[in-house]
Amino acid sequence: MQLIFYSAILIVLFVFLVLKSRNMDLWIISYIRSYFDKSEMDPVVNVYFCLADHFEPYFSRADKRVANNRVDVWCDRYPKVANLHTDSNGNHPKHTYFYPEEEYDEDILNKIKKLCDAGLGDVEIHLHHDNDTAENLEYTLNKFKNILYDKHGLLRKNENGNIVYGFIHGNWALDNSRPDGKWCGIDNELDVLIKTGCVFDMTMPSAPSNTQTKIINSIYYAREDGLPKSHNTGKLAKTGSWVQDDEILMIQGPLCLNWKNRKFGIIPRIESAELSYDAPPSNTRVNLWEKCRVSVLGDSRNIFIKLHTHGLEEQNVRMFFDDNGFDTLWTALERKFKDNNGYHLHYVTAWEMYEKIKSICKG
């Protein structure tokens, strides 16, 4: 009996250490609970797919020549692959460039604009900052959104004539969510984002980072509470109810465990919606993204698959183009969802995904 007792303790300790090592303790309860929440969902009909790129031409402290060359290669190769694929509406895949304010380059933005004008993408705002203040953040975001709109014809205005945008926080540290306070510094960041025209955020999921929220696989409204990581909780978006006055719509990507890809043959790897050299697309992953069923409460027939990547990192460029990652991704999506078995596939930008969610909520 003692042997069984001590074995049980060791197993529990091992599981606890595994959870802590990957910060899974932040979200594993929500993940387990979700298995019991999806039993009464309707069959999926529409699949809306968006790829949100932390598009960073100057990463690794590149100079202007290197940064522009990276974008030139991308702008040359992306259309050639994307134009070979279409969704159920005949649209080609669309790439959303969350462009970092601190890497602003007029020439690069003009190049990306050409892809957008060709119907192959859109631009939203990305930002890396540290030890910042609310006042400086407000100035920075207002300045950048005006440049994007006035100088490059990007972003858009709402019915009140205000420039609005989507956002991804650099280093996942939205609303000062890192326990050590690095890579942000502003406890009321959601309020600043709303004040400057941000209407939706696509930072999550961030697992295995300790910035990961308790809420997973959801579309919900986050409200500032004056404390770090205000978006850790929120109100689920639901049909027949659209209220977005002092809240940001959080559009999360899929987060789950991949039991078909296990470390040491035992520990399931985390599926965190990332596309990279180390996490290329596959049919198995497509099935996992669907099973997460990210949707508006009350309308499970429409699901939203939002993935993220750092597209310009050299290894990822090789994965997408040389190793046929884009072709593998879109072929897998089209094989399963493009007018097959009652599914319809829709390639959308981040903004189009937001607009679709808004329309569902409004009924």
The number of residues in the chain equals 363
Q: Would 117 be classed as within a structural domain?
A: yes
Query: What SS3 state is found at 164?
Result: strand
> For position 62, which CATH number holds?
3.20.20.370
280-312 in b/e form (b: 16+ CB < 10 A) is bbeeebbebbbebbbbbbebbebbbbbbbbbbb
In the prediction, which pLDDT does 40 show? 67
Q: Would 337 be classed as within a structural domain?
A: yes
Q: Are 92 and 119 in contact (CB under 8 A)?
A: yes
Query: What SS3 state is found at 91?
Result: coil
- Taking the CA atoms of 164, 134, 102 and 228 in sequence, report the sign of the dihedral they define: negative
Farthest-apart Cα atoms in the chain, separation: 74
Q: Would 176 be classed as within a structural domain?
A: yes
What whole-number distance in Å separates Cα of residue 93 and Cα of residue 280? Answer: 17
How is residue 188 written in tokens?
Answer: 């009321």
Q: Would 329 be classed as within a structural domain?
A: yes
In the prediction, which pLDDT does 41 show? 76
In the prediction, which pLDDT does 25 show? 85
Q: Are 145 and 196 in contact (CB under 8 A)?
A: yes
Q: Would 6 be classed as within a structural domain?
A: no
Domain of 46, in residue numbers: 23-362
What whole-number distance in Å separates Cα of residue 189 and Cα of residue 25? Answer: 25
The pTM of this model reads: 0.93
What whole-number distance in Å separates Cα of residue 156 and Cα of residue 93? Answer: 21
Q: Would 292 be classed as within a structural domain?
A: yes
Tens place of pLDDT per residue across the chain (363 aa)? 554 443 444 333 444 444 445 688 888 888 888 767 655 678 989 999 999 999 999 999 999 999 999 999 999 999 999 999 999 999 999 999 999 999 999 999 999 999 999 999 999 999 999 999 999 999 999 999 999 999 999 999 999 999 999 999 999 999 999 999 999 999 999 999 999 999 999 999 999 999 999 999 999 999 999 999 999 999 999 999 998 889 999 999 999 999 887 776 677 999 999 999 999 999 999 999 999 999 999 999 999 999 999 999 999 999 999 999 999 999 999 999 999 989 999 999 999 999 999 999 998
In the prediction, which pLDDT does 32 show? 83
Strands (E) located in the chain: 46-54, 95-100, 121-127, 156-157, 163-169, 198-201, 219-222, 235-236, 248-251, 256-263, 267-271, 274-275, 302-309, 344-347
Instruction: Work out how many domains the chain is built from and give that number.
Output: 1
What whole-number distance in Å separates Cα of residue 253 and Cα of residue 51? Answer: 10
In the prediction, which pLDDT does 262 show? 76
In the prediction, which pLDDT does 176 show? 98
How is residue 11 written in tokens?
Answer: 């197993």
Q: Would 122 be classed as within a structural domain?
A: yes
